[in-house]
Structures are given as C-alpha cells and as structure tokens.
Amino acid sequence: MTQDFVTVADYIVVGGGTSGLVVANRLTEDPNVHVLVLEAGQDTTADPRVNIPAFWQSLIGSEVDWQYKSLPQEGLLGRSVKEPQGKGLGGSSAINAQAWIAPSQAGIDAWAKLGNSSWNWASLVPYYKKTHTLNIPPDQATVDHLGIDWVNDEYRGSSGPIQVSFPGVVQNPFGKAWVDAFRGMNKATTGDPFSGNSIGGYSNSATIDPVNKVRSYAGTAYGLPALQRPNFHLVTGLTVQKILFDQASGKAIATGVQGTVQGELKTFNACKEIIIAAGAFNTPKLLELSGIGNRDLLTKYGIPTIIENSGVGENMQDHLASGISFEVADGAMTGDSLLRQEPEALQMAQQLYAEYKAGTFTSGGIQSHAFMVVPEFEVAEGQRRQSELIAKHPPKPEDADHYNIVRSLIENPNEASAAWIVFQAQSSLHDKDRGFMGGQLLPGNHASLGVLQCHPFSRGSSHISSADASAAPEINPRYFSNPIDLEIMARHMQALEALRNTTELACLFKPGGKHLEVAKKYLIDTAGTSYHTCGTAAMLPKDKGGVVDEKLMVYGTGNLRIVDASIFPVIPRGNIQSTVYAVAERAADIIKG
Ligand SMILES: Cc1cc2nc3c(=O)[nH]c(=O)nc-3n(C[C@H](O)[C@H](O)[C@H](O)COP(=O)(O)OP(=O)(O)OC[C@H]3O[C@@H](n4cnc5c(N)ncnc54)[C@H](O)[C@@H]3O)c2cc1C
C-alpha cells in the first residue's frame, strides 16, 4: 500500500487506472495544482506478470482483477461470462492484451450525431497522437515481413508517453503469411488504421516498449513520472465507497469522498473537483452508492436519492469475441507449451527474454489483425440482403437512436462489422466460463483464428446489487439480445474457414466449412467478452439517457466529472484502449479550461 497522508487536494481522482492516471498526470503539469489519486488496488509497476507482455492472461482471476462475472445470458443459453477489470496502478491497462487498435472516423463521428456536437473524429485525432509514440522496426527485413507500408505520419504519435511497437518478428511465419493472404484476397489494409478510414488486413502494433520489451501502460508511462512531482499524491489500497455532496446551492457540489483503508473509514476533501475514473463497472456502481441513479433502484437498497438519473449503469456495450483453434504444421512456433507451463519451454523463453529481449515472452499474442466487412455483404445484392436482415429486427422506441446509429455504421460499405485476428496459441473457448484461454489445455501447437464484433446492436447494463460497497455489481451485457449481432458474427466465423484455406495460411495449419447454423450454435456456446466494456455513464443529452454532458460533468452536479470508458456513447470498432487514452487526454484539457 502507498500512503500519502494528504487528505485535501484541488482535485481528487477516484481510480488510478488508465484514464485516471492520464488526467492526474496532465493536471499536475501545473506545479500549483494538487491532485490526489485514490486507487483500490496496489502499485504493481514492478510485478513481472504485469511487465512481461506474454503474461497478461495469468492476471485474469488474480488479485489484480476485480473478478466480476455477468449474470447468466439468455443469448448465450444461460451462460455467464467472466468480466475482468484491472485493479491496481494502471487499472485495466496493466492487465490488457496490449493490442493497439484504431477506431474508425464514422464510429467516433457517431458520438457527435448522438448529440455531442463537440466530440467528433477531428476533435479526437490530436489526442490519439498525443498519447503515443509509434516505433517502426529499425530493420527493413522486419518491416517487409510485417508489410508495414501503410504508416501515415499525419496520424502517427511521435512523442507520447505510451510506447507502441510491432510485436511481430521475422522468425514467425504467421506475420508474413497473414499479410500475404490478405494481399492475395485483395483485402490488405486500405491505409493507416489510425486514419480512421481503412479496412483490411495488416500487422498490428501493441503497447510494448520496443527496447526493453516490457508493457507500456498508464502505470509506468503516466503514473510513475507523475509520482516524482510533489503536487501528485497517491493512496493505494483504498476503495472509495461514496461521494459526499453539499446541496445548499440547489446544485449538488461534490465536497469529498469516503473510503476504507486498512479497515478505517477516511474522508478526503476536494477544493475544486472530483473526477471519477473507476472503470465501466465501478463508475456506475460508485454513482449509485452515492445517490445518483434510478430512484427505484436506490430506494430498493435504502440509498437516499441525490440526483435522479435512470441512465446511470445503462447503455453498456462490449465486443463479443470467439475463435477456433487449429493445430499448426510441424515447426511453426506457438505459445502453447508456455500456457501448459512446460518447464523446458518456460526455461528457454525466460533465457531468451533475459539475455536477448526476444522470444515468446515479448508479445501478448495478438500481432495480426483485420477490419472486415462480411464477405457476402460486400456486393450490392449482399448489401440489400443485409438491410433486409436488419429491418427484420426493429428497435424498441427507447433504443431507436442507438439502433439507427449502429445501423448506419453496419450499412456503410467502407465500415468493418468485425475484426479478425490470429492468436498464436490455442483458445479453449469450449471450456465455458474460463474466458479466452479456457482451463483444459490440449497437447500440441495451435493457432486460433478469432472474430471480434465491431458495432454491436445489443446493449446491457451494470448496476449495484446491494448498498454494501464491497458487493460485486449486477452485470447484464444482454449479449446477442438483438439477433442481428449473431447473424453478422456467425457469417464472419464462416468466413474464417476461407481465410485459413488461403494458399499463404493453409501451409501453416494441419488439414482439418462451417454451415451458418453450426457457426451460430458455436458462437452461442463459446462467445465471450473481448474486455471492451464501456458506455455505462454515457455522454449524451440527459433526456437520451445521458449521465455526463460534453464537458464530462455529471448532470445535476457542479464539479463531478467522469473521464473513463463509461462515458463512450457508442463503442468504437476494435480494441478500445486507444480511445480511453485519447478521451482522458482531452478530458484533462477540458478540465484545465
Ligand atoms: C483482460 C483485458 C484485456 C484487454 N485487452 C485490450 C487490448 O488488447 N487492447 C485494447 O485496446 N484494450 C484492451 N482492453 C480494454 C482496455 O484495457 C480498457 O478498456 C481500459 O484500460 C479501461 O480504462 P478505464 O480508465 O476506463 O478503467 P481502468 O483502467 O479499469 O481503471 C479503473 C481503476 O479504478 C480503480 N477503482 C475502481 N473502483 C474504485 C473505487 N471505488 N475506489 C478506488 N479505485 C477504484 C480500479 O482498481 C482501476 O485501477 C482489455 C481489458 C481487459 C480487462
């Protein structure tokens, strides 16, 4: 536990995770501004499980994870899904898979269309750049092997704190085969994904320092440098239970927070603002525990209502993911022996990493990526069939705005409806609730071809399950509650078969088509979260279910803001950490004024 005995600061940031550390770092650039960060987890910046890129999965279910789980999901035949969230300095950026993936312009412009006129693609581009530095491999052989011919300097971060590099190496045949397969299908990326206007296959980058081959994340890139400043204060091991308000002026003014540290209830006061950055599950939970939410729900748990807002905890969005593992041809390298913790493989990987910063420890396993349209919907006749399919499932009136926005994205012929990846090891998704890796590890070497949704129609919720702050929230993502999501994802799963059979990739797999109904059944049995939950305290007009306004201020309050993934009105395509960082960078500028 880190103890900093400051109990009053200009700003209190609840949650020292991805967004919280960005904002706290930027605010303390002014030496006269004192910021106190309160983080429930511990400082794990020296923990090798956090720092070594390949170990991220070992943190799921550990003390660095809140270990949440969804309610049984009707759309998954009653299956519950694990919903990991990071708990410790750096939050989920300390346990994530490190893939650095771009949103699309249309996906971010949708935020403006939903009523946030100052939040569009143009407004966020400078912040994607500000947060990262893209390191291109220094040798031409690696650049050629990974097909990195698309980098556009207009969108490339060159001095941001998060170091982004390419985990693919020339020794690994999958990198080249992936790019060549997409080139062969005439589906190589149409540009730099961070231009916001590309689809197709490419070698993706990851938040990994290119020199030391360690995770680059909010904890080390924003947290540790800020800790050197006398005006940055941090308490770890403290779970905030409640925000305190003064309502004398008619507007709720947040004066402080209460939380327990080592069994003792403590109060911390803010002179200016309280900034919530507790993540997509814990942010709505904290609002509700503090009296901001649906009155009926608060009354049920005996919590006095300070601000009535039934949008709190609603609008939850996530990307479902699934994949199929195939045995690879003899000689192809994969991470399976490490997953099985085979001593010889571990020893060799450890040695390679320690001596040369090389080998399987240097990657989170995701280095080849593609943004794809359903192949059968690419042509005009297919687009018509897709529109008919969507029209069969009209929204309820309260879902119309969200439905229409998602529909416009899905029907845009230049917009992907799923991301395809190759994960270089088995993913035992049949093993019910174990998540991506499963528990029953198979012998042999595998690679998994995976699909992640880009623009789901289905939305869910996350609410308190008790007035007790230590109780887990009730998470109901309502996966596949809109049947179109299953229709689209199943078609992508089918298309993976054709990808595997391309000349370039087929030679890397042992020989082994899925009918659409089989693909649907497979998805219902196996799909799980790709860990991208957001939207549960959305930036939207209040009468459209909004919780914060365009300045990220909680409606009805004068100085309580939210800066984390909860505020996303619509989930961007692809893995969301780049947008979490960009939003937090912009939030810091908004707060600075
Ligand atoms: C396992 C996993 C893999 C992922 N992989 C990828 C990937 O490869 N690429 C990608 O782009 N994205 C990925 N993501 C998603 C991405 O990492 C997250 O969306 C992002 O980090 C969320 O940032 P945040 O600031 O909203 O929340 P977090 O980073 O989760 O921060 C919230 C912080 O608040 C703290 N907190 C919560 N409640 C309280 C409280 N009451 N009091 C005090 N502190 C509190 C938490 O402990 C945590 O540190 C992954 C996420 C996970 C969980």
Residue nearest to atom 45 of ligand 1 (CA): 15
238 Cα to the center of ligand 1, angstroms: 17
Find out whether the beta carbon of 41 lies less than 6 Å from any atom of ligand 1. yes
229 and 313, same domain (yes or no): yes
235 Cα to the center of ligand 1, angstroms: 18
441 Cα to the center of ligand 1, angstroms: 27
Find out whether the beta carbon of 532 lies less than 6 Å from any atom of ligand 1. yes
- Ligand 1 atom with minimal separation from the 59 CA: 1
Per-residue model confidence (pLDDT) at position 432: 45
Find out whether the beta carbon of 421 lies less than 6 Å from any atom of ligand 1. no
For residue 49, tell me if it sits in a domain.
Answer: yes
Per-residue model confidence (pLDDT) at position 514: 53
Find out whether the beta carbon of 531 lies less than 6 Å from any atom of ligand 1. yes
Q: Which token pair is 526?
A: 């196996």
Find out whether the beta carbon of 85 lies less than 6 Å from any atom of ligand 1. yes
How many domains in the chain? 2
Find out whether the beta carbon of 240 lies less than 6 Å from any atom of ligand 1. yes
- Probe residue for ligand 1, chosen from 93, 287, 290 as the CB with the greatest number of ligand atoms within 8 Å: 93
Per-residue model confidence (pLDDT) at position 511: 73
281 Cα to the center of ligand 1, angstroms: 9
- Ligand 1 atom with minimal separation from the 575 CA: 11
Per-residue model confidence (pLDDT) at position 439: 52
491 Cα to the center of ligand 1, angstroms: 30
For residue 106, tell me if it sits in a domain.
Answer: yes
Q: What is the mean pLDDT of each run of 10 residues along the chain (593 residues)?
A: 75 98 98 98 97 93 96 95 96 98 98 98 98 98 98 98 96 94 97 98 98 98 98 97 94 96 92 98 98 98 98 98 86 81 92 94 94 95 95 94 98 96 75 46 84 97 98 98 96 92 90 70 86 98 98 98 98 98 98 97
559 and 426, same domain (yes or no): no
Q: What are the C-alpha distances in Å from 184 to residues 146, 372, 499?
A: 15, 15, 10
| Long-range contact set of residues 223-230: C-beta below 8 Å, sequence gap at least 24 | 223/16, 223/21, 223/24, 223/25, 223/45, 223/89, 223/90, 224/45, 225/25, 225/161, 226/21, 226/24, 226/25, 226/28, 229/28, 229/31, 230/31
- Probe residue for ligand 1, chosen from 58, 68, 96, 575 as the CB with the greatest number of ligand atoms within 8 Å: 96
286 and 396, same domain (yes or no): no
518 and 379, same domain (yes or no): yes
108 and 3, same domain (yes or no): yes
Per-residue model confidence (pLDDT) at position 375: 93
Find out whether the beta carbon of 307 lies less than 6 Å from any atom of ligand 1. no
Q: Report strand pairing: 68-69 vs 82-83.
A: antiparallel
For residue 341, tell me if it sits in a domain.
Answer: no
For residue 90, tell me if it sits in a domain.
Answer: yes
**Is the Cβ–Cβ distance between 576 and 532 less than 8 Å?**
yes
Find out whether the beta carbon of 13 lies less than 6 Å from any atom of ligand 1. no
In terms of residue numbers, what domain contains 385?
Answer: 172-206+320-334+363-455+482-526
**Is the Cβ–Cβ distance between 284 and 309 less than 8 Å?**
no
How does DSSP classify residue 321? E
Q: Which among 15, 22, 24 is positioned nearest to 86, based on CA atoms? A: 15
- Probe residue for ligand 1, chosen from 64, 288, 530, 531 as the CB with the greatest number of ligand atoms within 8 Å: 531
For residue 165, tell me if it sits in a domain.
Answer: no
For residue 437, tell me if it sits in a domain.
Answer: yes
Collapsing DSSP to helix, strand or coil, 250 comes out as: coil
For residue 356, tell me if it sits in a domain.
Answer: no
Q: Which among 13, 12, 14, 18 is positioned nearest to 565, based on CA atoms? A: 18
42 Cα to the center of ligand 1, angstroms: 14
Residues making up the chain, counted from first to last? 593
Output the domain CATH number for residue 418: 3.30.560.10
Cβ-in-10-Å burial (0-12, 13-18, 19+) of 426 comes to: buried
300 and 429, same domain (yes or no): no
404 Cα to the center of ligand 1, angstroms: 29
186 and 242, same domain (yes or no): no
Per-residue model confidence (pLDDT) at position 335: 84
Find out whether the beta carbon of 98 lies less than 6 Å from any atom of ligand 1. yes
319 Cα to the center of ligand 1, angstroms: 15
**Is the Cβ–Cβ distance between 273 and 559 less than 8 Å?**
yes
How does DSSP classify residue 144? H
Q: Count other C-beta atoms under 10 Å from residue 388's C-beta.
A: 9
Find out whether the beta carbon of 15 lies less than 6 Å from any atom of ligand 1. yes
Q: How large is the ipTM?
A: 1.00
Per-residue model confidence (pLDDT) at position 436: 44
- Ligand 1 atom with minimal separation from the 278 CA: 34
Find out whether the beta carbon of 87 lies less than 6 Å from any atom of ligand 1. yes
For residue 162, tell me if it sits in a domain.
Answer: no
Q: What are the C-alpha distances in Å from 260 to residues 16, 41, 302?
A: 16, 12, 20
290 and 369, same domain (yes or no): no
Residue nearest to atom 49 of ligand 1 (CA): 91
223 and 256, same domain (yes or no): yes
91 Cα to the center of ligand 1, angstroms: 5
12 and 121, same domain (yes or no): yes
Per-residue model confidence (pLDDT) at position 262: 82
- State the amino acid at position 160 in one-letter form: G
506 and 575, same domain (yes or no): no
DSSP 501-539: TSHHHHTTB------HHHHHHHHHHH-EE-S--B-TT-B
Determine the Cα–Cα distance for residues 576 and 455; give it in Å rounded to an integer: 12
Determine the Cα–Cα distance for residues 590 and 587; give it in Å rounded to an integer: 5
Q: Which residues are CB-neighbours of 212 under 8 A, at least 6 positions away?
A: 357
Binding residues for FAD: 18-19, 240
Collapsing DSSP to helix, strand or coil, 328 comes out as: strand
Q: Which token pair is 292?
A: 């901001």
Output the domain CATH number for residue 590: 3.50.50.60
32 and 126, same domain (yes or no): yes
